[in-house]
Structure formats: structure tokens, C-alpha cells
Amino acid sequence: MLSFFKDYKYFAIVLLVLSIIIVTIIFNILTPKKVLPIYQPSMVNFEMVDSTVQHQSKYHTIADFSLINQNGDTITQEDYKDKIYVADFFFTTCQTICPIMTDHMVQIQEKIMNDDEIMLLSHSVTPEIDSVAQLKRYAIEKGVKDAKWNLVTGDKKQIYELARKSYLAVKTDGNGDAYDMIHTENFMLIDKKRQIRGFYDGTKAEDIEQLLEDIAILERD
């Protein structure tokens, strides 16, 4: 009897390994992979969306833009061509949620530093205050890496329209000035086709972890 088991020991081991492989393959086939949604204006809280696009339900993408970064360079959509990127809205003199958001964006920067597919983009909502020099001081203070992260300023109307019509991420303050904004804590994940694939609370550590996981999902697609 012992001789029988000895003769078939290696066969049993091979059979066990093959069984594990087959079960793993079947499990992977049957387990649905997470697919990130493609956000359209009609899917987002109307407070964050310009009235001209609130009912749009397909084909939404980030509009072309031309803004100036912390180095005085013109930044356009071409700088983000074929990139996945995280966008937000902030201002350098903000003392409430912005410092937390910026610290979390720094953490993301550290995670993606060696990944050529991923970039960051932060828009100032007070461009009249956030000059190139002011953005540069802020970038140095916060440890912004120029190759990965642009802090941009420029025409207030253009920034407002990007916030409300493209990124679907900023409230108006209701005082009648079309170009005064209340920025939110939102981080937006944008894919290589300029589509919004996720919204995250930039003040919450758990949302940042989810954002990093979702970036990895986009890279696998």
C-alpha cells in the first residue's frame, strides 16, 4: 500500500497544482472586473453643472483650454494628451479645505512619480490673486514636481467654464456674479479620452486610496 502511494505521489502533486490553476482561472473568468463609470452632466448633482449642459447624457469630454502654470508656461490639453490625470480647483490663500487637498495631492504625486501615464492639474479659482509668481511660491512650499503637476491660472471666465461645463465640480455662490465660484473638495479622475471617470473627496484619506485604485484600473483598460 505504501509503495502504491509512493509511486503516485508526484502524479498527485501535479494533479493538485493543475487543479489549483484551473480553479483560479475559472474564478477570474467568473469574477466581473470593476469598470469605472463614464460620468455625464446628467449624472452629476445639478449644483455643480452649468445649466447649458445639465441634461447632456452622452459624449461629454473636457474642453480644450489654454492656461499658465507656475513656471509661466502655457499649458493646454496637448500637455495631457494620452495621459490619465487628476484635476481639482483651489486657491493658494485658502485656509480651509485647500491645505488638506494639496497635502493629499502631494501624496498622489509621490505614488505616481515614476509612472509616465499619470499627471496632476490644479486650477486656481482666484486667478486675480494667484499670479505666476504666487503659484511658484506655493509650488515650492508644497513640493510640487513640475514634470507631474501643473498649478494653473489664467482667464477667470475660462477657468469658471472649465469648472462648471467640463469638470462638473464647482458651485456658484449665488451673488449674481457669473464668475464667482465656491470651489469644492472634489478631485476628478480623467482618462486618456478626456472623459470623467470618478469624483473623490480630496479631504478624505479613504477617497485618495480609492482614487489610486481606480487609476490602476484605468491603466489596465
Instruction: Establish if 197 belongs to a structural domain.
Output: yes
Same domain as 62, residue 21: no
Instruction: Establish if 116 belongs to a structural domain.
Output: yes
**Residue 183 contacts residue 125 (beta carbons within 8 Å):** yes
Instruction: Establish if 193 belongs to a structural domain.
Output: yes
Task: Show the domain range for 69.
Answer: 41-220
Residue type present at position 8: Y
123 is in an annotated binding site: no
Q: What pLDDT, on a 0 to 100 scale, did the predictor assign at position 207?
A: 98
Q: How many domains does the chain fold into? A: 2
Q: How far apart are CA 130 and CA 125, in angstroms?
A: 8
Instruction: Establish if 100 belongs to a structural domain.
Output: yes
Angle, helices 98-112 vs 205-220, to 10°: value is: 40
Name the residue among 64, 88, 60 with its Cα closest to residue 75: 64
Q: How far apart are CA 134 and CA 213, in angstroms?
A: 33
Give the three-state DSSP class for 207: helix
Same domain as 205, residue 150: yes
Same domain as 206, residue 161: yes
Tens-binned pLDDT, residue by residue, of the chain (221 aa): 545 545 556 655 666 666 677 655 665 555 567 799 999 999 999 989 999 999 999 999 999 999 999 999 999 999 999 999 999 999 999 999 999 999 999 999 999 999 999 999 999 999 999 999 999 999 999 999 999 999 999 999 999 999 999 999 988 765 545 667 777 899 999 999 999 999 999 999 999 999 999 999 999 98
Instruction: Establish if 48 belongs to a structural domain.
Output: yes
Give the three-state DSSP class for 160: helix
183 is in an annotated binding site: yes
Instruction: Establish if 141 belongs to a structural domain.
Output: yes
Strand partners, 183: 170
Q: What pLDDT, on a 0 to 100 scale, did the predictor assign at position 148?
A: 98
Instruction: Establish if 36 belongs to a structural domain.
Output: no
Residue type present at position 215: I
The cell for 186 is: 472634489
Q: How far apart are CA 191 and CA 188, in angstroms?
A: 10
Q: How far apart are CA 132 and CA 210, in angstroms?
A: 32
- Distance, CA of 146 to chain centre: 17
Please report, for the domain that includes residue 120, its CATH number. Answer: 3.40.30.10
60 is in an annotated binding site: no
Q: What pLDDT, on a 0 to 100 scale, did the predictor assign at position 124?
A: 95
At which residue does the C-alpha cell 487609476 appear?
Answer: 215
Same domain as 9, residue 84: no
